[in-house]
Amino acid sequence: MVSEKVSVIIFEGGQTRSAVEEFMVKVRQAVVLDNIEKMKKVPVLDDIRLYTNYQDLAEKAAALGIDVTWRPRVRDFHFGKRLAGLVDKYRLHNVFYMGGAACPLIRPEDLAFVGETLKREKNVVIVNNVQSPDMVAWSPGEAIKHIEPPEADNSLGYLLRKHGLRRVLIPNSAWINFDLDTPTDLMILARHPRAGQRTASELAKAGFDYTRLDALKGLLATKNSEIGMYGRVGPVIMNWLNMHFMVRLRVFSEERGMKALGRLDRGEVTSLIGHFIDAVGFEKFFDYVAQVCDVMLFDTRVLFAHWKREVSENDRFNADIYRLSEIRDPQVRDFTQAAMECRVPVLLGGHSLVSGGLWALGEQIVAEQGRQSKPL
């Protein structure tokens, strides 16, 4: 058995331009620190490295005894080139990359699975999501030299597999599919009992309106509820919901993998629901939603991409939590107001809302009911 060490690399960085973005960053930093503590308790993970442009995060992580690279934000930052540079600099053979917002509920056994697989098998790439992973582990590390360095982590797993590495999926669960991309994800995490100590403390300051989320929880637990889902909805979450709840799903899935496949960057995203909304208008669309659903989960990023609009993080995030006064784009604001006025609860968010976030919420309901979750 090959016994090369397993090296974890965490990237967490960015720039903030509004209060809602700043709060997202604070929670993400808390998740990074909580996850580092989990990793340090998993023997098969030999060393942990953090790359960040946040000085306060760098200092707190260094105090936990890991290797930290702090760099002020530079305009020419390129994810793939920087990651490849770190792999080359430290001559890493078994590499375990995680985005800072990835898997806030990940378990030690999930982390151990990745490390043990890297040490046991060669020429593999391990991912937590087929379409758009934010946790990618691979061996040999030098394989990253032979791919076009990606600008974002979404396509890293796909490119390594295309290079010839055999793909291995981490055993599927809510804990490895749930990540933090939007304020809606923060709301789900804030109500979850397994949130890390630092994370829970930060989320307690949020002041979110949980009315719609609580309505969704109640409807999932109610027989024959009509649950509407739109966006990058995969078959796994539909199968899991059908196994655990006696609800009716109304699903329209579009543009899965739009980031990883480059469709978003090339402006190729198109949506049938988007065309329908364009034709009938926001109010009429949500009137139809209320006629067929008791609650609607809406992955707005597909619609925004369909519109070919550069919607800022400020506007996306404030739309997710219905802070209309903070949304600057008039089209996004009008859409959000129509969703807010819908006769049934409408939850807005990104991919996690209709995948890992919903799964984590469902697992919580199952546990509260005293039931055991069934494996897929």
Q: 4 vs 47, 122, 182, 235, 276, CA distance in Å?
A: 12, 11, 37, 36, 54
Q: Which pLDDT value is given to residue 353?
A: 96
The letter for the amino acid at 278 is: D
Q: Which pLDDT value is given to residue 2?
A: 38
At residue 98, what are phi and psi to the nearest 5 degrees?
Answer: -140, 140
Residue 320 has pLDDT above 50, yes or no: yes
Of 31-45, 132-146, 332-346, the range with the lowest mean pLDDT is 132-146
Percent of the chain with pLDDT over 90: 88
What's the mean pLDDT in 200-228? 96
Pinpoint the alpha helices (H) of 45-182: 55-63, 79-89, 108-120, 156-163, 174-177
**Which tens digit of pLDDT belongs to each residue from 227-268?**
999 999 999 999 999 999 999 999 999 999 898 788 999 999
Other beta carbons within 10 angstroms of residue 69's beta carbon come to 15
Determine the Cα–Cα distance for residues 376 and 366; give it in Å rounded to an integer: 15
Beta strand pairing call for 135-139 and 124-127:
antiparallel
Q: Which pLDDT value is given to residue 132?
A: 77
Give the domains, in start order, of the chain with CATH numbers.
Answer: 6-177 (3.90.550.10), 210-368 (no CATH)
Determine the Cα–Cα distance for residues 79 and 84; give it in Å rounded to an integer: 9
Q: Which pLDDT value is given to residue 131?
A: 75
